[in-house]
Chains A and B, each alone.
Chain A
Amino acid sequence: MVRFENVGLRYGLGPEILRDLNFLIPAHSFQFLTGPSGAGKTSLLKLLFLSLRPTRGLVNLFGHDVSLLGKDEIADLRKRIGIVLQDFRLLDHMTTYENVALPFRVMGREESSYRKEVIDLLKWVGLGERMDALPPILSGGEKQRAAIARAVISRPHLLLADEPTGNVDPTLGRRLLRLFIELNRSGTAVVIATHDMTLMDQYDARRLVLHEGRLHIYE
């Protein structure tokens, strides 16, 4: 599903922050991406999400060489990827329900075809009572759960999550992990960037460890 060959990344004329990355993310796989702060986890997720282009090497996503893709093709590929960023990126003028339903709206689907699914998912992540609330009045944890719900609602082929349990209590963290596992069982490849060892210890999965710009894989 995803193949990186000799990928390097630098910002501007600065030093290379990711070096010689060679790895595969198979379909239906589950992996944690970990490493110390500043190791480049978020940059690697952005490469996977096509919001950054590598300065060298080959990135192949869903069978496409990303260096050859135009804007419209990238937009189409992104419909197959769900992403949860650390800053949540919710739209402040839309309710929690509307934010979570946004991917379906962009796809042009009728609201009646997904409404129940959105409401059930919001209940599952503990936002059943906050569906009509606007993001500015949500707590950090609530925003994080809304962002996760938005990323998983369309059941993407690939889910990328940057510290998805960073702002929630351990119980809710376990519940969110169950959601990711459930999504993975239904066929989504999952990449969770975290340095939360407790979270990683709860599920036996492949670990991609970034250290000094290089990637070490523990199967």
Chain B
Amino acid sequence: MSRSDHHLGPLVDLGRERPQVPARARNMSPIVPRGSIAGSALVAVVAIMTFLASITTGTVLLVSASAAEWQSEVASEITVQVRPAPGRDIDRDAAAVAEAVRAQSGVVDIRPFTKEESAKLLEPWLGSGLSLDELPVPRVIVARVQPGATVDLEALRRRVTQAAPSASVDDHRAWIERMRSMTGATVIAGIAILVLVIIATIISVSFATRGAMAANRPIVEVLHFVGAGDRYIANRFLRHFLRLGLEGGVIGGGIAMLVFGFSESIAGWFSGTPVGDQFAALLGTFSLRPSGYLALAAQAVLIAAITAWASRRTLFKTLNEID
């Protein structure tokens, strides 16, 4: 809105003083110098926050996927136990129960465990070379249910107890409920950690922005003198914070992806050890699906965007205080 827009003549006439060689001066410096913003500390904070958020999300995804696999496997099986009872032949009882289970509609396959197989199941607790004749060990019959079919458990229980009064039927419902609540708790804990990480990121970025604004107050004042509005000034700072947020997000998210990428090999080093077996039982193969990596990348971008938003909010608040 200055009058130089109105095609006035030159303000000064240099006459013979006009330089013969054109000057090399150009606008090269950014209005807000990059070095004036404590960038490395903020990048580190955002990287750490993104890493923690990614590890949390990745773990929640692994647990959820493994739990879903477990549930579908367990839900497709029914276990029948035949306990030894005085005056009864357990082999005959087991065979009768197996026939009763096979006849139940919805059951596609049964697998009665033999004496030797039952001994193998007990080996970790009782050691090898076990003689089952000396112990009242129950027999197990595993029935595989047709996917999508509903088995009438009451009818199955009646048949089984008719065949052997000491037999019991377990459809693992209690287990599945426990798994479901454990997975739900893991997801809720993951979301809570993510919310905390995001809040911590917003607070850190707000402090960093305030610090940068305080360090650059003379620049802000001069920009006000030459007629720059708050939006113009905020944008000069914002591009720095957006870049720092992206750098932090890429570093933190990238390291987390590498961790998940290598976790399969790391899990391999521990296989055969009690710790490795427990992890494998809980988390399956320990490898993230491609959709999981996409989720981590989206999360890194989200954290960079949150950094930019928190910075913008603080910038306008601080600019209001400066004038």
Contact = CB atoms under 8 A, between A and B. Distances in A.
Interface in B207-237: 218-219, 221-232
Nearest to B4: A155
B149 interface: no
B12 interface: yes
B23 A119 contact: yes
A23 B66 CA distance: 82
B261 interface: no
A103 interface: yes
Given A107-B2, A120-B14, A121-B12, A76 B226 contact: no
Contacts of A76: 1, 227, 229
Interface in A79-119: 79-81, 83, 85, 89-91, 93-98, 101-107, 111, 114-115, 117-119
B80 to A, nearest CB: 78
Contact of B11 (A104, A106, A152): A152
B229 A188 contact: no
B25 interface: yes
Given A102-B222, A111-B27, A123-B17, A155 B8 contact: yes
Interface residues of B, number: 39
A157 interface: yes
B124 interface: no
Given A79-B2, A131-B25, A186-B11, A72 B225 contact: no
Contacts of A107: 2, 227
Contacts of B228: 75, 106
B220 to A, nearest CB: 11
Contact of A106 (B26, B218, B226): B226
A120 B218 CA distance: 27
A61 B226 CA distance: 17
Contacts of A91: 31, 218-219, 222
A183 B9 CA distance: 11
Contact of B29 (A93, A121, A153): A93
A187 interface: yes
Contacts of A182: 11-12
A118 B18 CA distance: 12
Interface string B279-299: 000000000000000000000
A98 B229 contact: no
Given A119-B19, A188-B3, A97 B25 contact: yes
Contact of B2 (A71, A89, A121, A154): A154
A26 interface: no
A154 B232 CA distance: 18
B268 interface: no
B14 A78 contact: no
A124 interface: yes
Interface in B1-51: 1-4, 8-12, 14, 17-19, 23-29, 31, 33, 36
| Most chain B beta-carbon neighbours within 10 Å: one of A106, A157, A183, A187 | A106
Given A71-B229, A183-B11, A119 B25 contact: yes
A156 interface: yes
Contacts of B36: 93
A188 B4 CA distance: 11
A47 B314 CA distance: 28
B134 interface: no
B73 interface: no
Nearest to B229: A75
A89 B222 contact: yes
A109 B2 CA distance: 12
Given A121-B12, A123-B17, A132-B25, A103 B229 contact: no
7 contacts: A51-B224, A76-B229, A103-B226, A121-B12, A124-B11, A132-B25, A152-B11
